[in-house]
């Protein structure tokens, strides 16, 4: 056998061996698919934290989506109708919002709700005693309204205030108190007189700025302008009511306001003709009790019914 024939036979035998081996793998299921090959030779992946389903060690945030909305906690409180701590604001809530007139944020007036009517009836608004009959009051609920304001207290903090006033002066008062607020004029408290059980003396002693209170005047049985919601008392402790007897004896209300009866003295919160509060009320057509002759009511600003028409 020559050399060429020998090489040809070797090549043929080698090919037979390779083909036979391949057929054996296929028969025994020992072959490797393309998918198996790719899996075996794939680039290693980072270890996975099976508890959190995040890479065990990575500096990359799990999500870079900054536009998704935050999850709402089941304990997140729902919006309230009214977050005010004031009695009148809480009782009115949003029940009168469709009839509300808003001058600026926090400064608005609106009708008195049924809840607020019940609260003030028998206190600042008259009600018949049990077993008695009473003539109709000279002012109706429809002629009154609820006024909400903001003001600076004596600590320089912005806080809420509220009054009940005659509808005819509501816009005036909203504008006046708004200007006082813009100028950081300080009012210690502005609460409904009902917080003091309708007691004007208690309200003045607490230096509370107030408006409506169905009561007579201090010196006689005639109804005060407060009974019509047409008068406002501003920081009354520092601006007292002073009356005089025939012999010249002074009576000061509230009683603790004695140090502030001398209007020639200098002290904070004093209302005089140079005071911003005085100027604003006068500009809006009010008269000032500090200009009266027979008594001096330095806290008091009022409008007559004729002026409101």
pLDDT tens digits, 187-216:
999 999 999 999 999 999 999 999 999 987
Contact 290, 298 (CB under 8 A): yes
DSSP H helices, the chain, are 3-28, 34-40, 87-92, 114-120, 170-182, 200-205, 276-283, 305-308
d(CA 240, CA 169): 23
The answer to which of 132-136, 178-182, 244-248, 267-271 has the lowest mean pLDDT is: 132-136
d(CA 34, CA 32): 7
Is the confidence at residue 174, as pLDDT, over 50? yes
The answer to which of 57-71, 225-239, 245-259 has the lowest mean pLDDT is: 57-71
d(CA 34, CA 231): 95
184: left (phi over 0), alpha (psi -120 to 50) or beta: left
DSSP state letters, 69-135? PPPPPTTPPPPPS----SHHHHHHTTTTGGG-EEEETTEEEEPPPHHHHHHHBTTTB--PPTT---P
Stated pTM of the model: 0.72
Cis upstream peptide for 109 (omega within 30°) = no
d(CA 228, CA 231): 8
The answer to which of 82-86, 110-114, 186-190 has the lowest mean pLDDT is: 82-86
Q: Burial of 172 by CB count in 10 Å (0-12 exposed, 13-18 middle, 19+ buried)?
A: buried
């Amino acid at each position: 056998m020559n050399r060429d024939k020998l090489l040809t036979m070797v090549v043929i035998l080698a090919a037979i061996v390779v083909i036979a081996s391949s057929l054996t793998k296929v028969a025994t299921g020992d072959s490797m698919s393309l998918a198996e090959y790719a899996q075996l030779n794939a680039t290693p992946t980072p270890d996975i934290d099976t508890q959190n389903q995040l890479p065990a060690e990575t500096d990359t945030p799990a999500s870079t989506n900054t536009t998704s909305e935050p999850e709402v906690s089941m304990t997140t409180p729902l919006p309230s109708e009214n977050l005010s701590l004031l009695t009148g604001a809480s009782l009115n809530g949003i029940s009168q919002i469709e009839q509300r007139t808003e001058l600026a944020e926090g400064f608005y007036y609106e009708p008195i709700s049924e809840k607020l009517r019940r609260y003030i009836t028998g206190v600042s608004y008259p009600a018949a005693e049990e077993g008695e009959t009473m003539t109709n009051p000279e002012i109706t609920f429809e002629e009154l309204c609820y006024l909400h304001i903001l003001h600076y207290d004596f600590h320089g903090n912005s806080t809420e205030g509220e009054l009940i006033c005659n509808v005819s002066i509501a816009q005036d008062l909203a504008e006046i108190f708004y200007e006082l607020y813009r100028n950081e004029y300080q009012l210690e408290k502005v609460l409904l007189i009902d917080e003091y059980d309708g007691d004007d003396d208690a309200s003045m002693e607490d230096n509370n700025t107030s408006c409506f209170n169905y009561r007579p005047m201090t010196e006689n049985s005639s109804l005060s302008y407060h009974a019509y919601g047409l008068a406002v008392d501003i920081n009354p402790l520092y601006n007292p009511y002073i009356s005089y007897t025939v012999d010249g004896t002074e009576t000061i209300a509230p009683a603790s306001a004695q140090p502030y009866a001398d209007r020639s003295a200098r002290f904070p919160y004093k209302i005089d003709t140079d005071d911003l509060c005085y100027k604003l009320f006068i500009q809006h057509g009010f008269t000032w009790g500090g200009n009266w002759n027979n008594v001096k009511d330095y806290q008091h600003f009022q409008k007559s019914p004729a002026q409101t028409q």
